[in-house]
Chains A and B, each alone.
Chain A
Amino acid sequence: MEEANRIRSKLTGEYSVTERPEPIAGDLRLGWGVSLLLLVLASSRGQRCSLQKIHFLAHLSRTAKSRQQMREVLARSRGPVDLSVRIEPWVNRAAAFAAASGIVDFRDGKALALSAEGKKAVAAIRKANLLEDESSFLEDIGKLTTEQVVERIMKMEAF
């Protein structure tokens, strides 16, 4: 305390503190998250899917390891127990922004679908080879992962 007071007595001049920008993970970038959401929707039947499936796929397509695990589960070489299933809050935020920008539409409050603008955006993302790994993963497994499969994996049942 004594030392603190001594230091304080030295700090008589004016001083200012500069705000340092903080780094964040790439998948928390707005554009990245929204793009992944669009790719998830684009990979599903009818370009729409339930919020549950969106969360499920968005989380699993994020890292190379989880992508590999999901592939193995679908190939039946691994059980659903090994998959980490998460509800990611950023997915909801991405969905909110995307809906407000008019690239996705909410259906009955429980599903999302790509709008015409969204389809154009997906085409542009694919053409530019962005999110390449995520995109090819979703293209491979999107059609196989039906709502029913997601439901069963969530309940840890064999499918």
Chain B
Amino acid sequence: MLRIRHIRLRADTTGGLYGTDVRLDGGLTVLHAPNTSGKSTVLHALLYALGLEQMLSPRREIPLSYAMREYVQNPATGVEHKILESYVAVEIENASGQRMTVRRNVIAEGDRRLISVVGGPELTQGPGDYARRDYFVMDAGGAQREAGFHRLLADFMGWNLPTVKRFDGGDCPLYVETLFPLFFVEQKVGWTAIPGAIPTQFRIREVHRRSVEFLMDFDTHEMELRRQDLDLRMSAARTDWAKSVDAIVALATASGLRVARLPMVPTAIGSDVESAYLEFPQEGKWLRLQARIAALAEQLETLQSDSIPEVEGVVVGAAAEAEALSAEILTLNTERSTIFRDRQAEIVQQASTERRIAQLDEDLQKNKDALKLQNFGSKLSRELNPNHCPTCEQAIDQSLLPQGMLETVMSIEDNIEYLGAQRKVFKRLADRSVAIIRELDLELMSTGEEVRSKSARLRALKSDLIAPSHAASAAFIEERLRLEQELVRLGDTVERFEQQLNSLNEQARVWRDMLAERTKLPDARLSDEDVAKLSKLETSIRSQLVRYGFGTFPAKDLTVSRDSYRPEKEGFEIGFELSASDSVRLKWAYQLGLLDVSHGSETNHPGLVVFDEPRQQEAAEASVAGLLSEASRIANGRSQILIATSEDLSKVKGFLERIECQLLVFDGKMISPISDDADY
């Protein structure tokens, strides 16, 4: 909570001390003074004292009129007096009744970034024995470091500022400058936007939404953080999955096998993972590895049950088999050399594609540089990138080819698109090459295996043919050994494959948990409580609009967007279709509505609304009467509302007849000579 108790402006001039004091009783206050009397200066002084000038403009300048910076005019004589020194001071109070006086120099020797803080009600009750300390504003860390005034201010108001994302990806606190525009409507820029003229120079992402969410204390902020965290974990899980899949594929390829039905992207269904299996190639077809293992085992069993034959008995068959085997090996080798040639051709193709991609990248970079050069700044870009011949002023092509050689040169933007499109195509080609080479490698591997085993068999057969007739058949023994080895090798591969599938299954379980967590997060961004607050805001705005005589469309058609928190009609944001007076009425209703919601709901609203010159000239008189009575209803002893106006005094008095409020009237210039001052 924040209450403004007293605002003091002082300027020491060549003609004596000038200044003004505004003491506020804490409820609805109407500050009345004629135009150009210094009302805005007083309200700007309040912002300046609190170090909030960046709320008005990103420039770091004093947002105060000449009357606080250069000279003041004596109201009686009209003589101008130069200002020697000046300062502003504000006394504020928080929810626990604690008071604090802050003072900041405008024209003075010291550093303007310093704010002196006195821990007591020095302006209302005079100097006392209070703690004093200097804090700084406007420097990096003003909102975070212990000596930063905005950190003190946030603590004082009971605000625990959330950390938000910036456009550059970094984090920063939600600066107080982005929150004040939601309840402090400044005259020059404040009336233009709903929810408020929130400064964007801090480069905070979706700053309008973040500030309303904080002020209304929506749960959605917390929810967003959890969602972001889950997204991060899920993308890490996706990477892990891809790594595991790569490892499994590598294992299969190394044994001349391939994996079928392996889920390439994370799945929550364990049986999907378990249904993956290994395949082996046989005569150009891929068959299940289990079938092969069974067949090999059966063969081995037959061989083991037979006794080892002597060479004499097998020699006739061996001769025929050896011949057939030689022919088969020959065919296989021819096949292999074709595969090898294809592979070499693909590698050449791949290299040339890579080269082309590198060239395109280089050209793309050059074009991007050229584009930046083109958009450089007026004079420089004319020098580097003339549209016209600097000598004869004829139009020229944007190229260094001989002029007139091309009919029209593509614009750099289009050229960049064009290169990007080409790059995409070549990238696809390169990916294809990688896949083809992998496939060919696999074929080479499996046919190589086949050639090796057939050659071994051939050697054994040949040794049988020249062996003495009663020797044991080497071919028979070789086949048995070969089968045994093959079974061991395949068994080993299958075992490792299954281990990896198990770990993938574990990942599937984790993935399922994360999916469950995601479904548990509410679909809607907003919690029920948030929605209740928003509909309360809607109700408040609608009832106020009726009082203000809003006429563009029936007030009941107005809703507040669940997304941007801006007022909408039938789902469309309200913009130019409003008349000038109605857009002012809507602004009043929205800002007071935010305060209205804070009564009875938990929010971070400081219970303070300041309207500087609420554009009454654009709204009808009846509306102003409505505004004052609604403000009084909403303030109702619980909140502070300060309205500065230059409306005709007798009318204002009329409007305020049956309204309980503090009316402060200044006849002439608010900043005037002060004879007796209890300065501190």
Whether A29 and B370, one on each chain, are in contact in the complex, defined by CB atoms closer than 8 angstroms, is yes
Whether A21 and B411, one on each chain, are in contact in the complex, defined by CB atoms closer than 8 angstroms, is yes
Q: Which residues of B contact A19 (CB under 8 A)?
A: 407-408
Whether B384 and A100, one on each chain, are in contact in the complex, defined by CB atoms closer than 8 angstroms, is no
Instruction: How many A-B residue pairs have C-beta atoms within 8 angstroms? Tell me.
Output: 117
Q: Which residues of A contact B386 (CB under 8 A)?
A: 30, 97, 100-101
Cβ contact of A26, chosen from B367, B389, B407, B414, cutoff 8 A: B367
Residues 95 to 118 of chain A near chain B (Cβ within 8 Å): 97-98, 100-103, 117
Whether B366 and A130, one on each chain, are in contact in the complex, defined by CB atoms closer than 8 angstroms, is no
Q: Which residue of chain A lies nearest to B366 when distances are taken between CB atoms in the complex? A: A26
A12 to B657, CA, bound (A): 86
B275 to chain A, nearest CB (A): 48
Decide if A84 is an interface residue (CB 8 Å cutoff): no
B residues near A (Cβ < 8 Å) are 358, 362-370, 372-374, 376-377, 380-386, 389-391, 396, 398-402, 406-412, 414-415, 418-419
21 chain-A/chain-B pairs, Cβ below 8 angstroms = A21-B407, A22-B406, A23-B414, A23-B415, A23-B419, A24-B406, A24-B409, A25-B366, A26-B363, A26-B368, A28-B399, A29-B400, A31-B373, A31-B385, A34-B384, A64-B358, A90-B400, A98-B383, A101-B384, A103-B383, A124-B376
A residues near B (Cβ < 8 Å) are 19-35, 38, 63-64, 89-90, 93-94, 97-98, 100-103, 117, 120-121, 124-125, 128, 130-131, 133
Known: A23-B418, A24-B406, A35-B369. A30 touches B383 (CB 8 A): no
Cβ contact of B414, chosen from A21, A93, A101, cutoff 8 A: A21
Whether A121 and B400, one on each chain, are in contact in the complex, defined by CB atoms closer than 8 angstroms, is no
A26 to B336, CA, bound (A): 45
Whether A26 and B400, one on each chain, are in contact in the complex, defined by CB atoms closer than 8 angstroms, is no
Known: A22-B407, A64-B358, A103-B383. A28 touches B400 (CB 8 A): yes
B372 to chain A, nearest CB (A): 6
Known: A26-B367, A29-B412. A100 touches B390 (CB 8 A): yes
Q: Which residues of A contact B372 (CB under 8 A)?
A: 128, 130
Q: Which residue of chain A lies nearest to B389 when distances are taken between CB atoms in the complex? A: A100
Cβ contact of A24, chosen from B364, B381, B401, cutoff 8 A: B401
Q: Which residues of A contact B374 (CB under 8 A)?
A: 31
Most chain-A Cβ atoms within 10 A of its Cβ — which of B377, B384, B389, B419?
B384
Question: What 13 new A-B contacts, CB under 8 Å, besides A31-B398, A32-B370?
Answer: A22-B410, A23-B410, A24-B401, A26-B366, A26-B367, A31-B381, A32-B373, A34-B383, A93-B400, A100-B389, A124-B380, A128-B376, A130-B373
Cβ contact of A32, chosen from B369, B383, B408, B418, cutoff 8 A: B369
Q: Which residues of A contact B370 (CB under 8 A)?
A: 26, 29, 31-32
Q: Which residue of chain B lies nearest to A33 when distances are taken between CB atoms in the complex? A: B400
Q: Which residues of A contact B390 (CB under 8 A)?
A: 97, 100-102
